[in-house]
Amino acid sequence: MFSFLTRKDVRKILKRKDSDAGEKGRALEELRASLFNEFRSSEGAKRQQQRICGPITALSFNFLVAVGIIFMNKMVLQTVKFKFPILLTLIHYLVSWFLMAVLKAFSILPSSPSSKSTRMSTLFTLGFVMSLSTGFANVSLKYNSIGFYQMAKIAVTPSIVLAEFVLYRKKVSLSKAIALTVVSIGVAVATVTDLQFHFFGACVALAWIVPSAVNKILWSRLQQQENWTALSLMWKTTPITLIFLAAMMPCLDPPGVLSFDWNFGNTLVIFGSAILGFLLQWSGALALGATSAISHVVLGQFKTCVILLGNYYLFGSNPGAISIFGAFTAIAGMSVYTYLNMRPQPNKVTPWQASTLPKSKLGKENGGTHDEHYGAESV
């Protein structure tokens, strides 16, 4: 038995379908708008960064990029024979700024917090110490051996502990202090056979310690306490860093940059190094935002030990039994420190939780008031 629809019934059905399609369209538009607003606000972008890139992901990303850029920069310095460390750093930051400008043009760059939440002097200080930290590090690597560079890096850990205590009354527990001491001794033993240095390079390495410590502290604090994401903070501070790197170049780079052979192959290697430099800066910022300044330094020392042991097991290099023993000792200390960091602590607020709690509640959790922006802490 067949039933026939009248023209009126057909109009009703089509109208109902149009209504359903309209509701679905509005729902999709609302979802897209909510996602866009979530990403475009500083608080929403910070939540997205924390959701996508946790501590383990951020540290692993930073570790892989850091190992990759070591081999790429080795090609730049040895194969290409580009002997201008400050200019190389300047090129890295110029490429980073260009890539972030592209992201901003397509509205992909996360929004920055309001100008009232962070003083311009703080951003200026961060841009300044970034230029000193990265520039001095490359100059130190040019004049000194890897072993001496790592010995200088060991001094960054106590510098961070001292600076955080002086600035924020942040204390390190006894167990973590012992683990960090074991790590430092292990790295020192692992690199003691490679302590060749140049007097000027040694002075630069010593001058690099304090800016490196302050750089890591500020990156970690601004992300964890003031809703900055890694990319938005890079976007704000990179122009300041570029200005200071350009000012440092005549003082620290040797002459002869105009006579360098800028052929296609050399330029391609330097550009590849710059791309990895952007990823290294981004991954380092993510790691500092997800963990702490000390954890980031420990990761760098772990990278050194892994490269030393990897060269021994994979490529047959023989650094000596003492260096191998030191590397294993350092890795054991890092494992203990990581375990102490991952162990849940009652009545404590994690750094990424602290940034989302109201100040009054955070003060109660930490057992103190917040007349200043940061109260006394212990880790």
pLDDT of residue 162 exceeding 50, the answer is yes
- Percent with pLDDT over 90 in the chain: 13
C-alpha distances out from residue 82 to 87, 151, 238, 253, 315, Å: 9, 25, 23, 11, 26
pLDDT digits (tens, 9 = 90+) for 205-214: 888 888 988 8
CA distance 84 to 149: 18
Mean pLDDT of 111-115: 71
**What does the pLDDT look like over 21-54, one tens digit per residue?**
555 556 555 555 554 555 556 666 666 766 777 7
**Per-residue pLDDT tens over the stretch 212-256:** 888 888 888 888 888 788 888 999 999 999 999 999 998 888 888
Whether the pLDDT of residue 379 is over 50: the answer is: no
Tokens 């992901």 label which residue? 57
* pLDDT tens, position by position, 80-101: 888 888 999 999 999 999 999 9
370: buried, middle or exposed (CB in 10 Å: 19+, 13-18, 0-12)? middle
- pLDDT at residue number 351: 45
| C-alpha triplet 49, 340, 324: angle, nearest 5° | 100
Q: What is the mean pLDDT of residues 172-178?
A: 83
**Alpha-carbon span 352 to 21, nearest angstrom:** 41
How far apart are alpha carbons 375 and 379 in whole angstroms?
Answer: 13
**Contact assessment for residue 248 and residue 204, using Cβ atoms and an 8 Å cutoff:** no
As a whole number, mean pLDDT of residues 164-188 equals 81
CA distance readout (Å), 180 to 157, 296, 310, 330: 8, 12, 23, 9
Tell me: pLDDT of 375 over 50: no
Does residue 173 carry a pLDDT above 60? yes
Predicted confidence band of residue 338 (pLDDT cuts 50, 70, 90):
confident
Identify whether the C-beta of residue 16 lies closer than 8 Å to the C-beta of residue 202.
Answer: no
Nearest to 123 by CA among 109, 112, 108: 112
Say what the pLDDT of residue 354 is. Answer: 46
Per-residue model confidence (pLDDT) at position 167: 76
In terms of Cα–Cα distance, which of 147, 110, 116 is closest to 289?
A: 110
pLDDT of residue 298: 81
pLDDT greater than 50 at residue 376? no
Of 129 and 352, the one with more pLDDT: 129
Most confident stretch, 221-230, 293-302, 336-345, 347-356: 221-230
Rounded to two decimals, the pTM is 0.70
Taking the mean position of all CA atoms in its chain, how far away is CA 195? 28
